[in-house]
Amino acid sequence: MRSGWLIRVTVALLLIDLSVDGADSDAEVAARKTATDRFLKADSDGDRYLTQDEFVASQPQAEVARRDFRLFDDNEDGKMSREEFLCCPTVLSAHLRGEIFDPMSRLVDEAVAALDESLGGWDKRPNETVPLVTVIQMVAEAAGGASTANLGGIDLDADQRISRNEARRFLEIQLGVRRNDGELLRKPDGRVVNYMLYSHIDQNRDDRLVFQEFRDRSYAGENAERLFRDADINHNNQLSLAEFSSIPSRGHEDPIEQFRLYDKNLDAYLDPAELKAGLPDWKQPIGGTVFPGSDLDADGRLSLAEYRLSMPANMVLSWQSIAQDRDGDEQISIAEFRNTPVQIPLLQLYYFHRMDVNHDGFLAPPEYPVTIKTPDEFFVVDEDGSNWRSLYLFEGYNACGSVSVSPDGQWIAFDAWSTKPRRGTGMFIMPRSGGKPRLIGDGMMPNWAADGERLTFSSGSSVWTTTREGQERVQLAQGWGAQWSPDGQRIAFTRESEICVYDVLQKRVETLLSARESPYDSIYWNMGWSPDSRHLCFKGATADGTIEVALIDAVAGESHLKVRHSGKVPVNADFAWHPRGDRIVYS
């Protein structure tokens, strides 16, 4: 039965055919009354409908009005009712306009119908409830892993059984009409909550936005303080989703107004050129996926309903962040497409299949802008940045990193990662003068000892040493990101928020920065020793997401911190000291 449900809901999604709440203010009531009076005045024959000529006569721009009549004559009967008139952007602003039919509701209808059929005609028994787990499992199989977080948004009476109305609500969550707690993401007036931006701003994932998050991650610039203050309706110094969505233009998107803006020739359709010219730069990466996938009737253009169902018009997820080809096969699987911090399973499945034009179960150019990973190449460069020379183009591996030069300057050690079968992560060494790298074993972040004969590395949450031939592997301690001091006497590593050193001669671990003393939630790997082996430079992250670059004195009894950079700007955790010890390079 469940495999049949999977087929039916997938087919339904593919074949669908398109032929802050509260009491209104006095000003809003007055605006709607004025709009109604305009309708009555325009209705010259008093039949309670507007013909196209009557509507055009009531509008300031005739050509725009003729286009809008086509857009908002929702039932296409050639006349405009008062309800349709109140939906027109030239009549009322977006938050005041009337309820507009949402094409996404047809997707929900089809998914509900498939569920009804799988449960033996559930629609014929509307008062019957079924076990909640049954519906969750069926939808999970259809979606390849349905989100079931916060079931309070589904099982409203908490009886572990689900009514047909509750099942519809669950499917609305899986299709992005609502989020997990049931709050609407698609408004009755046609606007869409900018849940993508809300999720991005909410750095600590606590479902509320404090001012620091909003200031640093909302892209509001100098307007951030004013926008945050105005949206904080209950004055608790944080924004809920409802408060965030009330922020003009930033808290929501208006696909209807976008469509009208992009439709330069006023024909009530968007062709590919109009879409490309209209989309902002940050949406251009997904603009090329709209045709043919979102052109449901294959006429080479988008109707308003088709546009409202497309990814650029439905920013509930970060569609513009192109999925990564994690296995290096130069195509995107459904698992890779859904590899996002927030998941809306059925919606992601719908878009994936709409873009998969050749129906092979993968996305590849021109269906989707897959980034083809080119092999990493090693270079050497003079100190002043001149005289770049290529050493080696390392094919067959997806990423190389953690480059470490031997003390005599003649050898380079590094790690490389591959998704190819039986490869995984390995450590390599090669001559600095160039030549083929030689695998010396599994592990990450190799780092040379002072004598150039041994290396320390990290593997399996532990710190190890090995010879340059990859022999005599010795486990030293639990930790990560091992870095051998230039004098060869100590190996520094991290344990979450701690910094430790292993004394090579004494064969014991010392703690430089304990968890109790550490101001950081986490300390990143690839710390850097100063040339005199007295200091370590590292990257730490505090609880509020602040990134710091700091120095710690590695001499026993002098383990105090000196912060050299602090902020929310991302910093790479790779540090290189100048041989004189007076400068540190990082990015």
Beta-bridge partner residues of 493: 500
Mutual orientation of helices 132-143 and 2-15 as an angle, nearest 10°? 60
Residue 18's pLDDT is what?
A: 43
Which residue type occupies 243? Answer: E
Residue 234: Cβ-neighbour burial (10 angstroms; 0-12, 13-18, 19+): exposed
Residue 491's pLDDT is what?
A: 95
Residue 3's pLDDT is what?
A: 45
Q: What is the pairing mode between strands 411-418 and 209-210? A: unpaired
* Cα dihedral across residues 473, 476, 478, 481: positive or negative: negative
Of 203, 185, 250, 205, which Cα lies nearest the Cα of 224?
250
Which residue type occupies 351? Answer: Y
* Cα dihedral across residues 344, 348, 349, 354: positive or negative: positive
* Cα dihedral across residues 464, 468, 469, 472: positive or negative: negative
Between CA 173 and CA 139 the distance in angstroms is 11
Between CA 408 and CA 132 the distance in angstroms is 66
Residue 559's pLDDT is what?
A: 58
Go through 501-527 and write b for each residue having 16 or more CB atoms within 10 A of its CB, e for each that does not: bbebeeeebeebbeeeebebeebbbbb
DSSP annotation string for 134-191:
HHHHHHHHHHTS-----GGGT-TT-SSEE-HHHHHHHHHHHTTSB-TTS-BSB-TTS-
Which residue type occupies 363? Answer: L
Residue 244's pLDDT is what?
A: 96
Strand runs labelled E in 407-461: 411-418, 424-431, 438-442, 444-448, 454-459
Peptide bond into 292 cis (omega under 30): yes
Under DSSP, the state recorded for 78 is S
Mutual orientation of helices 164-174 and 345-355 as an angle, nearest 10°? 50
Query: Are residues 459 and 443 in contact, defined by beta-carbon separation less than 8 angstroms?
Result: yes
Query: Are residues 328 and 418 in contact, defined by beta-carbon separation less than 8 angstroms?
Result: yes
Which CA distances in Å does 382 have to 378, 387, 578? 14, 6, 13
Between CA 428 and CA 396 the distance in angstroms is 13
H or E element that contains 14: helix 2-15
Query: Are residues 147 and 345 in contact, defined by beta-carbon separation less than 8 angstroms?
Result: yes
Of 182, 193, 110, which Cα lies nearest the Cα of 151?
182
| CA atoms within 13 Å, Cβ hemisphere of 438 | 12
Under DSSP, the state recorded for 420 is S
* Cα dihedral across residues 81, 87, 93, 97: positive or negative: positive
Q: What is the pLDDT along the chain (587 residues), one digit of tens a residue?
A: 444 554 455 445 544 444 444 556 788 889 889 989 999 999 999 999 999 999 999 999 999 999 999 999 888 899 999 999 999 999 988 888 888 999 999 999 998 998 899 899 999 998 999 888 888 788 777 766 545 544 555 666 777 888 888 889 889 998 999 998 889 999 999 999 999 999 999 988 899 999 999 999 999 999 999 999 999 999 999 999 999 999 988 999 999 999 999 999 999 999 999 999 999 999 999 999 999 999 999 999 999 999 999 999 999 999 998 888 877 788 999 988 988 777 788 899 999 999 999 999 999 999 999 877 777 888 888 878 888 888 888 877 767 888 889 999 899 999 988 766 555 678 999 998 888 899 999 999 999 999 999 999 999 889 999 999 999 999 999 999 999 999 999 999 998 889 999 999 999 999 999 888 899 988 888 889 999 999 999 999 888 888 999 999 887 555 578 888 888 878 887 888 888 888 888 87
H or E element that contains 104: helix 104-118
Beta-bridge partner residues of 404: 413
Between CA 47 and CA 60 the distance in angstroms is 23
Between CA 457 and CA 465 the distance in angstroms is 6
**CA of residue 359 relative to chain centroid, distance:** 25
**CA of residue 416 relative to chain centroid, distance:** 26
